[in-house]
Amino acid sequence: MSLGATWPVSSSIICLKGEVMSEESNELSFGVEQKYTKRPWYISIMAIWALFGIGGFSISLARYLSHGNRDVYQILGVVILSLTIVLMINIVKMKKPIIIAFGVLNIALGLWQSLNLINHIFNGRPHPSIIGFLLFIIIPSLIMAYLSLRPSFLFHSDKFSEYKNLLSMQKISLKKTH
């Protein structure tokens, strides 16, 4: 019984360096623990937050930066949507630099909206709906920053990328032998 990432193997597969063959289950193990071969349950929530939280905030920032110019706003909107989609895809692929950037963006968003909340409270305009909306932005942003910047999650993303690279090497070696 192997503890690593495994999948069924036929007798014609050439074993790569570092692989261990399990006799009783006829599976290969790359020495990557089983828990690192799957994405965490919250990775899809992070990708959705990238679209609505980071993307939504960026669109409102684009509206502010365009100064009412419709053409500039449309161009900025397309660029922001494209970057948000790239961010979402790379979060799901668990690319470590993108995950770190996502965490930093969430910290910036959470702090910015916290300052906005403090501004509303101290200026005497604490309308409950505004406070609720700002808390709806602040709390998930800080939770996503925490989840994405934890050392254990970054280690997991490294191991997951290593595992996916080993799988792709296995597929390439199969194509070359057949």
Cβ count within 10 A of residue 145: 20
Amino acid at 20: V
Q: In the prediction, which pLDDT does 148 show?
A: 93
Share of the chain above pLDDT 90, in %: 37
- The residue-averaged pLDDT of 159-163 equals 87
CB 86 within 8 A of CB 54: no
pTM of the model: 0.74
Domain boundaries, the chain: 1-38, 43-149
CA 53 vs CA 14, 18, 57, 177: distances in Å? 46, 42, 6, 47
CB 40 within 8 A of CB 155: no
pLDDT, tens digit, for every residue of 10-39? 433 444 444 444 444 444 445 667 777 788
Compute the mean pLDDT over every residue in the chain, rounded to the nearest whole number.
81
